[in-house]
């Protein structure tokens, strides 16, 4: 069975409150990592993010089977929980949150993931980014249509406008991997809020990964970079790093 190493990091940035939330844990051979970035007045964002990660963690810990369907339904349960909390009072009726979740079965070994909003998951294999979730955002839509370059997207005034979120008035359709991905020794994953990933392109993620000695070391290295480039209004920034198997495999860079 492959060993799993998980680390997490979350900071206020230049904000007065941290509305990011995250959680990770294991249950026998199964491991999960969840991250959520909340928004909404009267502490609504923090409540929405907390609900999202708590419900997802509980659902995955108690899941009878390891499947894409079980993961998909867990995300929908978390969405329903945020919607129900909104309806308790007008002060928090606009609260919502993103969600990105990774679910591993080390005995298979396999990985599943799902997301709603613009918090991201990156999958690295042999030191290279192989998969990345696509944001539920207006800017991503403009990029897909060819109206915006990735460079221009980073400073676009509407870059934080989401098209889907946990707690939204409409029903959400989580982007869930349809079938488990077979894991390899040395695979790694990064879950990140937009306050984190905005500071890194794929090359920066890969170079920091190649220099790191553990999941915790990787996050600390990236956090130092974030402090160097942070501006006065820096958003909360949070991430979870997951390393699979032998850390020595993580230094092997694939040559194209």
- Give the pLDDT of residue 156: 67
- pTM of the predicted structure, to 2 decimals: 0.91
Cis, bond preceding 97 (omega within 30 deg of 0): no
Parse the chain into domains and list their residue ranges.
4-251
| pLDDT of the chain, 256 residues: tens digit per residue | 899 999 999 999 989 899 999 999 997 899 999 999 998 877 889 999 999 999 999 999 999 999 999 999 999 999 999 999 988 766 445 799 999 999 999 999 999 999 999 999 999 999 999 998 999 877 777 777 777 777 666 666 666 778 889 998 888 999 999 999 999 999 999 999 999 999 999 999 999 999 999 999 999 999 999 999 988 889 999 999 999 997 666 555 554 4
How far apart are the C-alpha atoms of 156 and 148, rounded to whole Å?
A: 9
- Give the pLDDT of residue 83: 92
Which single residue is written with the structure tokens 């809020």? 193
- Give the pLDDT of residue 12: 92
Three-state SS letters, 213-253:
CCHHHHHHHHHHHHHHHCCCCCCCEEEEEEEECCHHHHHCC
Region at 148 (left for phi over 0; alpha for psi -120 to 50; beta for the rest): beta
- Give the pLDDT of residue 141: 74
- Give the pLDDT of residue 255: 47
What architecture (CATH level 2) is domain 4-251?
4-Layer Sandwich (3.60)
């Amino acid at each position: 069975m492959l060993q799993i190493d998980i680390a997490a990091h979350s900071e206020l940035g230049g904000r007065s409150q941290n509305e990011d939330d995250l959680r990770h844990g294991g249950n026998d051979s199964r491991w999960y990592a969840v991250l959520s970035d909340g928004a909404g007045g009267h502490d609504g964002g923090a409540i929405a993010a907390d609900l999202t990660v708590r419900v997802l963690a509980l659902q995955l810990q108690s899941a009878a089977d390891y499947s894409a369907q079980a993961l998909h339904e867990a995300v929908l349960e978390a969405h329903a929980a945020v919607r129900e909390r909104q309806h308790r009072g007008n002060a928090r009726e606009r609260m919502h949150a993103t969600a990105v979740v990774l679910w591993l079965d080390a005995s298979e070994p396999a990985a599943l993931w799902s997301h709603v909003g613009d918090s991201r998951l990156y999958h690295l294999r042999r030191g290279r980014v192989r998969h990345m979730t696509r944001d539920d955002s207006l800017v991503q839509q403009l990029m897909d249509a060819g109206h915006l370059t990735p460079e221009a997207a980073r400073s676009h005034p509407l870059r934080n406008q989401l098209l889907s979120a946990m707690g939204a008035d409409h029903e959400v359709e989580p982007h869930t991997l349809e079938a488990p991905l077979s894991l390899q020794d040395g695979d790694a994953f990064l879950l990140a809020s937009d306050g984190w990933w905005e500071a890194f392109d794929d090359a920066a993620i890969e170079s920091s990964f190649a220099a790191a000695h553990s999941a915790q070391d990787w996050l600390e290295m990236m956090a130092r970079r974030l402090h160097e480039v942070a501006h006065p209004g820096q958003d909360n920034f949070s991430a979870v790093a997951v390393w699979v198997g032998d850390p020595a495999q993580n230094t092997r860079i694939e040559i194209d």
